[in-house]
Amino acid sequence: MTDKMNLTRAQFDEVMVPNYAPAAVIPVRGEGSRVWDQQGTEYVDFAGGIAVNCLGHCHPALVGALKEQGEKLWHLSNTMTNEPALALATKLVEATFADRVYFANSGAEANEAALKLARRYAIEKFGEHKVEVIAFDKAFHGRTFFTVSVGGQAAYSDGFGPKPAAITHLPFNDIAALEAAVSDNTCAIMLEPLQGEGGIINGDPEFLRAVRRLADKHNALVIFDEVQTGVGRTGDLYAYMGTEIVPDILTTAKALGGGFPIAAMLTTADIASHLKVGTHGSTYGGNPLACAIGNAVMDVVNTPEVLDGVKHREQLFRDGLAQINEKYHVFSEIRGKGLLLGAVLNEQFAGRSRDFLNASVAEGLLTLMAGANVVRFTPSLVIPEADIVEGLARFERAVAKVAG
């Protein structure tokens, strides 16, 4: 058996499919907003597993839920339900617009379910012609073939043969283009209320209102992909709660399990009725272990203390990044909301977000990219203020190195 002490980054290239290019650093332990690698080097975590570790690493409430459920029941097929799934679905229904919940394992699966449901609903209610999905440039909805085709980044969907049909991509926040495109053939308009992978781009309030108005006019559904914005990330439990509109279908994953794989699709009773028995399913969807942890996440995050704390921490990040930029003049703006923030590189440093990421790692800080021009920050929602201060100090040293 392989000695775990001898496991190295080089072995990735020997045993793993090369669709990832992981860093040389291999973390082995985490606590709160700090992680340690194989050599014992400590890092401040501003990445949060890409907006997943909403309560940091090894939060006591999540560890406790895993241990407790792990001694009770691990898995059942969906020929039976289970108590953690029922409890979590009830929490989600009580906290949102939704009446019904479908559980899956990942954001892509939740989005796949949402798209299938939207088409099924439209076909059964209005006819076979009503199948068009309108989506937006720079959007990201997952890596299944349907979701990656709906996502507005062709580089991710090209090269796999014929793509699913009846998908139209439009410029994000362009009301005129949307008005020209929506028709009675449209079954759904799918969007992130705040685009994550596409560069941390907020949906304009007027644009979001237009999405809702045009969908209603043409009997189309609005799907909000809140895989990245959900579960407190923006300072609201879900980002739609900070807008003037309510979607018909919402997808959530990432932070819902705080690091344990789980996802959900939320919708109304009327729409949900079109996924009759046998029309869709998931072996692990609603898994008791995952749902037990999801319950713990909801109990901690969906509180005024945590949600208000996100808004306070956002300001600390904005103030700190502004101070750094006053010295080094590398950012044109700070975009986003809550603890989903993007520092946009100015023309002088355009295309160099990876340089900032690599320099940050060298200084003991984990950050992210959102394309070649944006440094992204998605830390724990409860990151201690002292860790924000220390992480920004490390980031400043990284910026100084890149800026020369």
Q: Binding site, residues?
A: 107-108, 140, 143, 225-228, 282-283
Which of 254, 331, 349, 387 is an active site residue? 254
Instruction: State the Cα–Cα distance between residues 225 and 243, nearest whole angstrom.
Output: 14
Residues contributing to the annotated binding site for N(2)-acetyl-L-ornithine: 143, 282
Instruction: State the Cα–Cα distance between residues 253 and 260, nearest whole angstrom.
Output: 10
Contacts of 208 (CB under 8 A, 6+ apart): 193, 243, 244, 245
Instruction: State the Cα–Cα distance between residues 289 and 258, nearest whole angstrom.
Output: 12
To the query of whether residue 160 is one of the catalytic residues in this protein, the response is: no
To the query of whether residue 140 is one of the catalytic residues in this protein, the response is: yes
Instruction: State the Cα–Cα distance between residues 139 and 119, nearest whole angstrom.
Output: 20
Contacts of 127 (CB under 8 A, 6+ apart): none
For residue 306, what are its two tokens?
A: 């945590």
To the query of whether residue 337 is one of the catalytic residues in this protein, the response is: no
What Rg, from alpha-carbon coordinates, does the chain have?
A: 21
Contacts of 190 (CB under 8 A, 6+ apart): 111, 114, 115, 118, 133, 134, 135, 139, 141, 150, 223, 225
Cβ atoms of residues 263 and 105 within 8 Å = yes
Which of 46, 103, 136, 140 is an active site residue? 140
Residue 225 Cα to chain centre, angstroms: 8
Which residue blocks in 218-303 are alpha helix, DSSP H? Answer: 269-272, 288-301
Helix (H, G, I), strand (E, B) or coil at 402: helix
Which of 45, 225, 236, 387 is an active site residue? 225
Q: Which of 241, 275, 254 is nearest to 118 (CA)?
A: 275
Residues contributing to the annotated binding site for pyridoxal 5'-phosphate: 107-108, 140, 225-228, 283
Q: Is 8 left (phi over 0), alpha (psi -120 to 50) or beta?
A: beta
Q: Which positions are catalytic?
A: 140, 225, 254
